[in-house]
């Protein structure tokens, strides 16, 4: 089984294993010759100064100093300092990148001193935790020490069991003592990635999609012989046990989290909200699950185990996010607008900047913020909008403790809040304030509000006036609810230059609002306060929220508190808030989901209201937030409901629910529809053509039903209508790339299924296939491969029929162009992905990239390969070799185009010859019913009947003459046959069904003959009755008898008699008049036939010339494109 690994890991592994195996073999040879080494040591320098200097350098060990130390080591005799060397190396704080170089130093020391390995093993035992009582003090150093120990074991520094025992003991300690908190998972994951393959045959899985990966078989990886197979298996089992315990805990926490989430949802559905303890428990379990999932995923990738997916349920947060995204999409598309009109948007969004209009000296003092911002909710997620008890009971856990000393404001106190003349020391200041208060009562527009703000900053920006303005804004006149939006704009405009003023107003408003909620409805203080004061307070909060002074989360929290106990004055306050700010909260992407749930609770509580006045208030407020007339979807739904008749529902059921078990019954139902009704027929055709509404496996059954309909002569038009609509869908998808890909794919499959039932010819299929690969595509469309998928799907269905029929040559030519289109797409894909890869190497663009997983979609490659395999020839001695790259595909197309260059001229010449000859032959065609001498033997009524029968017979003869010979010369043969059809005698006319039965004696009177110009043998006409036997004398042309009277003929007519029985009636008709009308009618018809023949032949000639020009232009365009690519 191939494994996917990181390319960098594989390269490092190959290099390290090669070094480890070479070093281990050298150490084996060195241990056999230690006696010779001792003789050499005696000859080396053992001066104290040099050895001391060497030991100091050991304590400062790093990868950069290793080469110098190895050089000095070969010149010094350090046999007395082996233990110190081992201790110095172990105590040094190394990095993982230093381990290869330090290992080389250890190999050099071990090669010279036989007791070095024992000293290193002893030092490792001192610092590594191997007992249950040992504690880990430095996890980072422990990680490096374990990898360093494994590296020394693999390179042969230790004896056979000397280092492996220490390595096994420390790994066992780390795993056995950490099965609860799993603090060692990161350490073990790093060890597994670094040396997991050498010590346990572990192949780590790439972590993330950014790293470059390759596929490799396990047998192709280099093997290390330092550890036996059993030893590697034991270490691998240790890692597996640790992972199993970690995954079991993760699964347990996931199960507990799912139970907690179900409990929370159950309480929300039944009571409207869940308890705080349940929510806190759920949040805690969710956080723990996220941490454990991350740990488990990291460890599973490190030890080469694919993590099993956890069973999780969708949370409400995901539903809220989806709802917010949907609202954002509608706002972006313009289907819904946040503000009702541009004027409203300008009022709330376009605020003036007073700092640009007023000198800075006038607001320099007030611009500095001295008060902290009002405490408001900052995050929508923190607002528990679902914590609403629908029973209307008060939630004691969320009620705030009442302050007994709090004094409730009354309307009288509000009026007293207006400063009097004694409050202001100067008359001039009093006049200005009074003028400002008078202006506030007459705020009617955005302009007047901005002027009032500018006046206040310019003339009344002092501490006393700001304090009075706060009182005026917090307690506006209850009877002037119309000026509240303008007050809110005034506050929002002053915020830039007076932040403390805004903070005080918001703080007092929210405190006042909470005070209203804490009062019991039956308390005397609540009764003393009029409901208008509460409504004004709530409206001010909603308006400030729309200006951004109060945050949306805080406004949503205020509405939630009102909805929680929807009784008494809370109904009026809730209605006021929803009418002022409900639509804003509902249409804002941040608060849409929460507001939607609040509205659902409001609607549920409204059903239990007994007071009709309160119910009407809630209804008005609810439809202010959700106006049905403003909803496009609601309008479409209502229109659909009005037009959705039972017949239309039945048609949708018959078409959309068709499958292999009920296709016969549904076909019977389709046949019984009233197809003469335009509304029913158009509706049925629309759904018969809407292929994307059906599963793709049911399209063949729908095509079978259409074939059954077309078997009836009066319903044959249905197949053509469905084919036209299907082709139109494909063309629309080509004109709008990326928008209707799924529709086009199902339409293409549907068209192929219709062809399999002989509802369309193969020329149409070939034409659609050519259109798919030749229709222009937008620039930078190398990622768009849906046309290849469509072509493969169509060829999968029509392959058997076209390959076995006369169209196999056409399909072979198309396959050449399709191969070129496929490899053009593939080459563009490879070039784009190669530029995006960080370590991509330049190469020949014509070479096929072997790693198709990263360079080209796997499913497209498989579909193309499967299609080529099925089109491959069955004969082994004549293999059908398909192109393998773009160059071969272009060569194949060039051969096809070269073959047709000469054929085009020949075809054009033959067509011109045929046209000329056809005109000459057709000009001599003559048609007569009988000899001109007998033209006066028929009445006018009989002539009209016979002419209509002749026209119907001629059309039938011409349609029968056209065969279905589908070959390369189809158009040419068609024109030739049309010319020959006029020179051939018509087949006997089929018996016409009459409403009455002809008498046997009169049947011979309705026979006729048709004579062409080239017929030399005249046919005798049948015998006629005495009433229709006129004289054939030359004098008859004059139409006058010998007696001087105009000669008349007796004609027998058949009419309906009593009881619908046929009856014969004889009438007299003037011979001259009959003959004259007969000749005039024949002359007129001959002239019409000649004009029709001339127009038809001219049209065919023009069509052939246009097709020839189009084909030549296509060949020239293909040649230019090939030249550009080369």
User: What's the pLDDT tens digit per position in 719-732?
Assistant: 999 999 999 999 98
Rg (CA), the chain: 49
**Lowest-pLDDT range of 226-235, 398-407, 612-621, 773-782:** 398-407
pTM listed for this prediction? 0.36
How many other CB atoms are there within 10 angstroms of residue 223's CB atom? Answer: 13
CA distance 984 to 673: 42
> What integer pLDDT is reported at residue 181 of this predicted model?
83
Comparing 330 with 173, the larger pLDDT belongs to: 173
Co-location of 739 and 824 in the same domain? no
Nearest Cα to Cα of residue 61 among 104, 19, 22, 24: 104
Spatial neighbors of 499 by CB under 8 A, at least 6 apart, are 367, 369, 371
Task: Give, as one character, the DSSP assignment of residue 841.
Answer: P
In this structure, are residues 1022 and 1007 in contact, taking their beta carbons and an 8 Å threshold?
A: yes
CA pair distance 734, 937, nearest whole angstrom = 64
Same domain, 528 and 580: yes
Sign, CA dihedral 990-991-992-993, equals negative
Residues 455 and 563 in one domain: yes
- The secondary element (H helix, E strand) that includes residue 3 is strand 3-6
pLDDT of residue 903: 67
Alpha-carbon dihedral sign for residues 843, 845, 848, 849: positive
Kindly report the number of other CB atoms within 10 A of residue 142's CB atom: 19
Q: Residue 178 domain-assigned?
A: no
Residue 1059 resides in a domain: no
Helix, strand counts (H, E) of the chain: 43, 4
Say which residue the tokens 């206040």 belong to: 456
Q: What is the reported pLDDT for 720?
A: 92
Report whether pLDDT(62) > 50: yes
Q: Measured between alpha carbons, how far is 895 from 321 in angstroms, rounded to an integer? A: 58
Mean pLDDT across the stretch 1035-1049?
Answer: 44
Range of the domain at 513: 344-393+410-635
How many Cβ atoms are within 10 Å of 72's Cβ, its own excluded?
16
Model pLDDT for residues 1063-1120, shown as the tens digit of each residue: 777 766 666 777 788 888 888 888 888 888 888 888 888 888 888 888 888 777 766 6
864 and 723, same structural domain? no
570 & 475 share domain: yes
Do the beta carbons of residue 910 and residue 971 sit within 8 Å?
A: no
Q: How far apart are CA 881 and CA 894, in angstroms?
A: 16
| Cα 317 → chain centroid | 22
On the question of pLDDT at 633 being above 80, the answer is no
> Which is more confidently placed, 208 or 337?
337
720 & 822 share domain: no
Where does the pLDDT of residue 542 fall: very low under 50, low under 70, confident under 90, or very high at 90 and above?
very high
Residue 576 clears pLDDT 70, i.e. is over it: yes
1116 belongs to a structural domain:
yes
Helix (H) or strand (E) holding 885: none
Over residues 201-206, the mean pLDDT reads 86
Name, in order, each residue with C-beta under 8 angstroms of 41's C-beta and a sequence gap of 6 or more: 77, 79, 112
Q: How far apart are the first and last CA of the chain?
A: 41
Q: Is 926 within the bounds of a domain? A: yes
- Which residues lie below 8 Å from residue 442, measured CB to CB, with a gap of 6+? 448
Q: Which residue has the higher pLDDT, 1056 or 232?
A: 232
Over 70: is that where the pLDDT of 963 sits? no
429 falls within a domain: yes
Statement to judge: residues 499 and 552 lie in one domain = yes
803 and 730 within one domain: no
CA angle 249, 251, 256 (to 5 degrees): 95
Model confidence at 961, pLDDT cuts 50, 70, 90, reads very low
Residues 6+ apart with CB under 8 A from 254: 289, 293, 310, 311, 312
Per-residue pLDDT, 1122: 66
Phi/psi region, residue 420 (left: phi>0; alpha: psi -120 to 50; beta: rest), is beta
Lowest mean pLDDT among 438-442, 878-882, 1120-1124: 878-882
* pLDDT tops 70 at residue 941: no
The answer to whether the beta carbons of residues 537 and 420 sit under 8 Å apart is: no
Asked whether 240 and 303 are in contact (CB, 8 A), the reply is yes
* Residue 1057 pLDDT level (bands cut at 50, 70, 90): low
pLDDT the model gives residue 273? 72
Residue 690's contacts (CB-CB under 8 Å, 6 or more residues apart) are none
The pLDDT-based confidence of 907 (bands split at 50, 70, 90) is: low
Mean pLDDT of 23-48: 72
> By mean pLDDT, which of 338-347, 463-472, 520-529 is the weakest?
520-529
Give the tokens for residue 86.
């081992």
Whether 429 and 520 map to the same domain: the answer is yes
In the prediction, which pLDDT does 895 show? 87
Q: Quote the tokens at residue 590.
A: 């941040």
pLDDT at 557: 87
Of the spans 137-151, 261-275, 620-634, 938-952, which averages the highest pLDDT?
Answer: 137-151
The predicted model gives 920-924 an average pLDDT of: 38
DSSP string across 74-137: TTB--GGGHHHHHHHHHHS---GGGHHHHHHHHHHHHHH-TTHHHHHHHHHHHHS--STT---S
> pLDDT above 70 covers what percent of the chain?
71
Percent residues over pLDDT 90 in the chain: 7
The answer to whether 10 and 193 are in contact (CB under 8 A) is: no
Total domain count, the chain? 5
Greatest mean pLDDT range, 355-359, 366-370, 590-594, 755-759: 755-759
DSSP E strands, 768-903: none
pLDDT at residue 87 greater than cutoff 60: yes
Q: Which residue has the higher pLDDT, 1044 or 267?
A: 267
Same domain, 880 and 1010: no
**Rounded average pLDDT over 890-897:** 86
Q: What is the pLDDT of residues 543-573, one digit of tens each?
A: 999 998 998 888 888 888 888 888 888 888 8
Residue whose tokens read 């006036």: 465
- Residue 527 is predicted with a pLDDT of 53
Bridge partners, residue 5, by sequence: 214
pLDDT the model gives residue 993: 44
Q: Is the pLDDT of residue 683 over 50?
A: yes
Range in 65-69, 852-856, 1079-1083 with the lowest mean pLDDT? 852-856
What is the per-residue pLDDT for 703? 92
What CATH number does the domain containing 452 carry? Answer: 1.25.40.180
Most confident of 69-78, 510-519, 1009-1018, 1061-1070: 510-519
Confidence class for position 953, pLDDT limits 50, 70, 90 = very low
Which of the 8 DSSP states describes residue 1011?
B
**Which two three-digit tokens encode residue 925?**
């065609």
Q: Are residues 973 and 875 in the same domain?
A: no
Same domain? For 903 and 1006 the reply is yes
Last residue of one domain, picked from the residues 729, 760, 791: 760
Is 298 a member of any domain? no
Q: Does residue 523 contact residue 579 with C-beta atoms inside 8 Å?
A: no
For residue 235, tell me if it sits in a domain. no
pLDDT band at 642 (very low <50, low <70, confident <90, very high): low
Whole-number average pLDDT of the chain: 75
**Residue 484 falls within a domain, yes or no?**
yes
Encoding tokens for residue 221?
């990886």
At residue 992, the pLDDT reads: 44
Residue 425 has pLDDT above 80, yes or no: no
3-state SS record for 958-975:
HHHHCCCCCCCCHHHHHH
pLDDT given for residue 723 in this prediction: 93
Average of per-residue pLDDT across 777-785: 78
Q: Inter-axis angle of helices 1071-1125 and 886-923, to 10 degrees?
A: 160
| Interacting residues of 338 by C-beta distance below 8 A, sequence separation 6+ | 331, 345, 584, 587, 588
What's CA 266's distance to the chain center, in Å? 33
CA geometry: angle 993, 995, 1001, nearest 5 deg:
80
Residue 40 in this model has a pLDDT that exceeds 90: no
Q: What's the pLDDT at 11?
A: 86
Tokens of 96: 């993982």
């Amino acid at each position: 089984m191939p494994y996917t690994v990181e390319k960098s890991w594989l390269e490092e592994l190959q290099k390290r294993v090669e070094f480890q195996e070479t070093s281990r073999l050298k150490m084996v040879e060195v241990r056999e010759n230690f006696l010779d080494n001792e003789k050499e040591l005696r000859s080396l320098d053992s001066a104290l100064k040099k050895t001391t200097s060497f030991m100091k350098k050991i304590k400062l060990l790093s990868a950069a100093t290793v080469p110098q130390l190895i050089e000095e080591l070969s010149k010094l005799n350090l046999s007395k300092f082996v233990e110190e060397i081992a201790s110095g190396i172990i105590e040094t704080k190394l990095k993982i990148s230093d381990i290869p170089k330090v290992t080389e130093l250890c190999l050099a020391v071990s090669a010279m001193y036989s007791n070095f390995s024992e000293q290193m093993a002893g030092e490792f035992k001192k610092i590594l935790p191997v007992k249950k009582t040992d504690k880990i003090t430095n996890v980072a150093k422990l990680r490096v020490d374990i990898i360093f120990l494994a590296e020394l074991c693999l390179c042969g520094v230790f004896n056979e069991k000397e280092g492996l025992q220490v390595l096994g003991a420390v790994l066992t300690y780390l795993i056995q003592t950490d099965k609860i908190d799993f603090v060692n998972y990161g350490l073990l994951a790093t060890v597994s990635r670094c040396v997991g393959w050498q010590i346990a045959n572990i192949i780590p899985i790439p972590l993330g999609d950014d790293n470059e990966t390759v596929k490799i078989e396990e047998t192709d990886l280099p093997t290390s012989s330092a550890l036996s197979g059993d030893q590697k298996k034991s270490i691998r089992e240790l890692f597996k046990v640790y992972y199993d315990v970690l995954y079991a805990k993760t699964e347990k926490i996931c199960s507990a989290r799912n139970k907690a989430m179900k409990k929370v949802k159950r309480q929300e559905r039944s009571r409207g909200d869940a308890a705080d303890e349940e929510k806190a428990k759920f949040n805690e379990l969710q956080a723990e699950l996220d941490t454990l999932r991350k740990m488990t995923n990291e460890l599973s990738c490190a030890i080469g185990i694919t993590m099993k997916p956890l069973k999780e349920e969708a949370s409400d947060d995901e539903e809220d996010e989806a709802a917010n995204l949907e609202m954002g999409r509608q706002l972006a598309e313009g289907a819904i607008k946040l503000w009702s009109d541009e004027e409203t948007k300008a009022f709330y969004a376009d605020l003036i900047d007073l700092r640009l209009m007023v000198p800075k000296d006038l607001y320099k003092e007030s611009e500095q913020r001295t008060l902290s911002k009002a405490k408001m909710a900052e995050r929508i997620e923190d607002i528990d909008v679902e914590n609403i008890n629908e029973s209307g009971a008060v939630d004691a856990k969320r009620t705030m403790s009442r302050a007994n000393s709090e004094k409730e404001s009354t309307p009288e106190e509000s009026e007293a809040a207006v400063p009097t003349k004694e409050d202001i020391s100067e008359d001039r200041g009093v006049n200005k304030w009074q003028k400002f208060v008078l202006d506030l009562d007459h705020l009617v527009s955005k302009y007047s509000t901005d002027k009032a703000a500018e006046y206040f900053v310019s003339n009344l920006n002092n501490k006393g006036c700001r304090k009075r303005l706060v009182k005026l804004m917090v307690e506006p006149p209850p009877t002037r609810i119309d000026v509240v939006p303008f007050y809110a704009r005034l506050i929002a405009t002053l915020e830039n230059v007076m932040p403390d003023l805004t903070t005080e107003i918001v703080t007092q408003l929210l405190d006042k609002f909470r005070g209203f909620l804490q009062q019991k409805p039956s308390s005397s203080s609540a009764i003393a306060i009029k409901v208008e004061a509460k409504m004004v307070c709530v409206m001010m909060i909603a308006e400030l929220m729309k200006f951004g002074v109060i945050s949306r989360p805080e406004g949503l929290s205020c509405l939630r508190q009102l909805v929680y106990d929807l009784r008494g004055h809370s109904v009026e306050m809730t209605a006021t808030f929803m009418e002022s700010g409900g639509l804003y909260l509902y249409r804002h992407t941040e608060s849409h989901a929460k507001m939607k749930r609040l509205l659902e609770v409001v609607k549920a509580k409204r059903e239990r209201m007994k007071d009709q006045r309160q119910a009407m208030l809630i209804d008005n407020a609810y439809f202010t937030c959700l106006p049905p007339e403003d909803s496009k979807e609601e309008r479409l739904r209502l229109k659909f409901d009005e037009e959705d008749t039972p017949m239309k529902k039945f048609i949708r059921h018959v078409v959309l629910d068709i499958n292999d078990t009920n296709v016969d019954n549904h076909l019977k139902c389709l046949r019984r529809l009233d197809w003469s009704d335009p509304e029913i027929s158009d509706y049925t055709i629309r759904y018969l053509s809407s292929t994307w509404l059906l599963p793709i496996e049911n399209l063949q059954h729908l095509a079978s039903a259409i074939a059954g309909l077309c078997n009836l002569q009066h319903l044959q038009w249905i197949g053509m209508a469905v084919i036209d609509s299907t082709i139109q869908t494909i063309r629309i998808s080509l004109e709008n790339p990326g928008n209707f890909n799924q529709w086009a794919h199902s339409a293409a499959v549907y068209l192929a299924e219709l062809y399999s039932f002989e509802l369309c010819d193969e020329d149409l299929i070939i034409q659609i296939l050519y259109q798919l690969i030749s229709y222009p595509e937008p620039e930078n469309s190398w990622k768009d491969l849906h046309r290849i998928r469509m072509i493969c799907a169509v060829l999968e269905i029509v392959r058997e029929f076209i390959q076995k029929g006369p169209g196999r040559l056409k399909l072979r030519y198309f396959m050449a162009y399709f191969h070129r289109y496929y490899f053009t797409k593939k080459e563009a894909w490879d070039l784009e992905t190669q530029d995006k890869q960080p370590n991509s190497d330049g190469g020949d663009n014509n070479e096929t990239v072997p790693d198709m997983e990263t360079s080209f979609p796997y499913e497209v490659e498989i579909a193309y390969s499967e299609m080529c395999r099925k089109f491959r020839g069955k004969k082994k001695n004549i293999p059908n070799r398909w192109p393998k790259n773009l160059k071969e595909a272009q060569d194949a197309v060039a051969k096809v185009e070269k073959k047709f260059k000469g054929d085009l001229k020949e075809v054009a010449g033959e067509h011109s010859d045929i046209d000329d000859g056809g005109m000459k032959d057709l000009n001599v065609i003559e048609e007569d019913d009988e000899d001109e001498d007998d033209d006066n033997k028929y009445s006018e009524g009989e002539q009209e009947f016979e002419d209509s029968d002749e026209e119907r017979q001629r059309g039938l003869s011409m349609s029968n003459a056209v065969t279905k010979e589908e070959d390369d010369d189809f158009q040419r043969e068609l024109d030739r046959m049309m010319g020959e059809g006029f020179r051939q005698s018509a087949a006997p006319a089929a018996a016409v069904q009459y409403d009455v039965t002809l008498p046997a004696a009169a049947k011979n009177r309705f026979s006729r003959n048709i004579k062409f110009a080239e017929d030399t043998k005249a046919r005798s006409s049948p015998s006629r009755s005495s009433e229709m036997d006129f004289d054939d004398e030359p004098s008859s042309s004059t139409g006058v008898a010998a007696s001087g009277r105009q000669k008349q003929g007796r004609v027998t007519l058949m009419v309906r008699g009593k009881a619908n029985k046929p009856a014969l009636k004889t009438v007299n008709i003037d011979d001259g008049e009959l003959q004259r009308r007969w000749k005039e009618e024949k002359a007129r018809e001959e002239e019409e036939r000649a004009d029709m023949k001339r127009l038809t032949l001219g049209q065919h000639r023009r069509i052939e010339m246009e097709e020839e020009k189009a084909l030549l232009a296509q060949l020239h365009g293909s040649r230019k494109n090939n030249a550009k690519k080369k």
